[in-house]
Amino acid sequence: MRIVVGHLYPEHLNIYADRGNMAVLARRAALRGHELEVRPLGVGEPIRPGDHDLLYVGGGQDREQALIAPDLAARRRSLAEALADGAALLAVCGGYQLLGRFYRGHQGAELPGAGIFPHETVAGQGRLIGDVLIACELDGERWNVAGFENHAGRTRLDAGAEPLGRVVAGFGNDGESGFEGCRVGRAIGTYLHGPLLPRNPWLADWVLRQALAHASGSEPPAFEPLPDVLERQAHEVAARRAYARGGKLR
């Protein structure tokens, strides 16, 4: 089966191994007999319900985020319609911030958000940076997710919102709540990069399964496990670093 990915703003939001995440999805899809077609979606290009099985928004620096924020916010309705149609979404770092209601910088300037995730982000005085590990449960399965975080934003979820996971080591959304990321149905956002999917192959498979469910119009399929020897080793190294460091405020 063909899985169509809409990669939003790959020329602007691309600093946290976002192309590496796409490569992982393509390889794991191919090993199971599926084809991943990645379609770049730049400023002004339309998003129509049914066109994409997965939407991906990566991370970028403040200047790049400011350039694309108005366009992303203007896509609020089309993004919501695509998700309501059953598409999956993965947003990392800056993309995660801009899919909330707004991001307010140090000087008080406010970037509009697309309102997909129920949260608001305000820049803090120091950066939350370091290896991070979170405990995560998706569809009844429990896993640890390992990654790296580097963000000044403090993201606060609305009361009752579902985080992606709870912080085991590191900072997470705001360094205080113990939450990391956010989930709304098949849409997940996270600060974890470094990159995210190569060291968390189970999460890559979860994303693929959600995308395949949309492509086929059925329930997410079961996957036979892959060997993932190197992937598990990468995860274990990152997890040990998170336990040892716990993050560092800069």
* Residues annotated as catalytic (active site), given as ranges: 93, 193
Length of the chain: 250
Residues in CB range of 144: below 8 A, 6 or more apart: 133, 134, 135, 136, 168, 235, 239
1: number of CA atoms within 13 Å, CB side?
16
Torsion of CA 195, 58, 95, 3, to 10 degrees: -110
> What is the rounded distance in angstroms from the CA atom of residue 163 to the CA atom of residue 135?
10
Task: Say if residue 153 is exposed, middle or buried (CB neighbours under 10 Å; 0-12, 13-18, 19+).
Answer: buried
The one-letter amino acid code at 144 reads: N
- In the DSSP assignment, the letter for residue 101 is S
* Rounded CA Rg of the chain: 17
Task: Say if residue 243 is exposed, middle or buried (CB neighbours under 10 Å; 0-12, 13-18, 19+).
Answer: middle
Torsion-angle region of residue 175: left (phi > 0), alpha (psi -120 to 50) or beta?
A: left
Torsion-angle region of residue 244: left (phi > 0), alpha (psi -120 to 50) or beta?
A: alpha
Report whether 96 contacts 121 (CB < 8 A): no
